[in-house]
């Protein structure tokens, strides 16, 4: 992901473009590892951990990134939400896997019918274990 795309995303969400915001967003756009704030800080050492947390909170509030709170490792993992996808979390290894092979339209339709709301997004986590680990 280039600098221009990250800048456009920040501008479209009304953010002032700063070195820190741009660096953190570009990191999330290019690292599909679902990092924690501490993991981001380990790679972006020129940005304070407090600034990383504050920036991530703003990005989450604005819908640029999502939090994956697995309750498995007691840490918040972050994911840039550029394309609709869901997450599969291995209960044993704690691995978070991106998947996009799910047609969300039936879910949106059902949610609209129940609530009367225009559905604007979703966050789905599916949990599982390897068959060998389930024995």
8 Å CB contact between 99 and 85: yes
DSSP annotation string for 54-95: HHHHHHHHHTSEEEEE-SSSS-EEEEE-SS--EEEEETTT--
CA distance 35 to 52: 12
95 annotated binding-site participant: no
Strand order in the sheet with 96-99: 96-99, 86-90, 125-128
Query: Per the annotation, where are the binding residues?
Result: 105
Query: Per the annotation, where are the binding residues for Fe cation?
Result: 105
């Amino acid at each position: 992901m280039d600098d221009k795309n990250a800048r456009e995303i920040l501008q479209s969400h009304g953010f002032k473009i700063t070195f820190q915001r741009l660096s953190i967003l570009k990191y999330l756009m290019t690292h599909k590892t679902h990092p924690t704030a501490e993991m981001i800080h380990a790679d972006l050492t020129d940005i304070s951990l407090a600034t990383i947390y504050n920036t991530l909170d703003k990005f989450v509030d604005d819908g640029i990134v999502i939090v994956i709170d697995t309750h498995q490792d007691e840490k918040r993992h972050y994911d840039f939400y550029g394309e609709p996808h869901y997450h599969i979390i291995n209960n044993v290894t704690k691995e978070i896997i991106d998947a996009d092979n799910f047609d969300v339209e039936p879910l949106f339709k059902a949610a609209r019918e129940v609530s009367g709301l225009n559905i604007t997004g979703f966050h789905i986590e599916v949990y599982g274990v390897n068959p060998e680990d389930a024995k």
